[in-house]
Amino acid sequence: MRVVRSTSDDWNEVRRAAVSWMQSSYGYWLDEWGYRDVPRGLLIEPFIGGGPALPIDYKLYVFNGRVEAIQVHVGRETDHRWTLYDRSWCRLSANTPNVAQAPPQSLARMIEGAEILGSGFDFVRIDFYDVGVIPRFGEMTFYPGSGLDRFNPPSLDQQFGSHWLAGGPTA
């Protein structure tokens, strides 16, 4: 990923990075086999948000059509950190900095949209940005963190696994 903010940015460096990306077979990197046959390409998006910093990234974990957790990422260019919340905005993460004092203004819409988009899958993570009353869609992924992200407490792995394996929410 490259964030280009002005015409004075180093376009030669951006082009070199793009050439490198196009030569890699993404699906084999970190064993994300579901992506291996996706044609290579570049996606250029307009910058969203109200300032020079990247907007907060809300990553909704959807199990069998129901949002069970929301991972909140801040400081992605400078001091990247994240915290997990449940759908009622109760903190799930332990020993991580609290990265969001209050739920985003568009949380209900994010949950509604994620549950509609995720309704046909046993698991998918659906990302949004909160840049006003209407959330902006980011991406859908079946391999968050390539399955390598560690949760704290470790019992969250079991909790998420139980949602996935049970075919729906667990008590």
* pLDDT for the residue 161: 83
Instruction: For residue 159, give Cα distances in angstroms to 44, 60, 94, 109, 142.
Output: 36, 15, 14, 24, 18
Whether 50 is covered by a domain: the verdict is: no
In 3-state terms the chain splits into helix, strand, coil percentages (rounded to 5) of 30, 20, 50
* pLDDT for the residue 137: 95
User: Going residue by residue through the chain (171 aa), what tens digit of pLDDT does each one get?
Assistant: 788 877 788 888 888 988 888 887 777 767 788 778 888 888 888 888 777 888 899 999 999 999 999 999 888 888 888 889 999 999 988 766 666 678 999 999 999 999 999 999 999 999 999 887 789 999 999 888 777 777 778 888 888 888 888 774 444
* pLDDT for the residue 35: 79
Beta-bridge mates of residue 70 = 60, 85
Q: Verify that 1 and 80 share a domain, yes or no.
A: no
pLDDT, one tens digit per residue, over 131-171 is 877 899 999 998 887 777 777 788 888 888 888 887 744 44
Q: Verify that 11 and 65 share a domain, yes or no.
A: no
Query: Dihedral through CA 84, CA 105, CA 6, CA 1, nearest 10?
Result: 30
Distance CA 57, CA 16 (A): 27
**How many residues does this entry show for the chain?**
171
Number of structural domains the chain divides into: 2
Distance CA 128, CA 140 (A): 9
Q: Verify that 83 and 127 share a domain, yes or no.
A: yes
Q: Verify that 28 and 97 share a domain, yes or no.
A: no
Helix (H) or strand (E) holding 63: strand 57-63
Q: Find the domain containing 11 and state its range.
A: 1-44
* pLDDT for the residue 156: 85
Q: Verify that 31 and 72 share a domain, yes or no.
A: no
Tell me, what amino acid is at 73? H
Whether 171 is covered by a domain: the verdict is: no
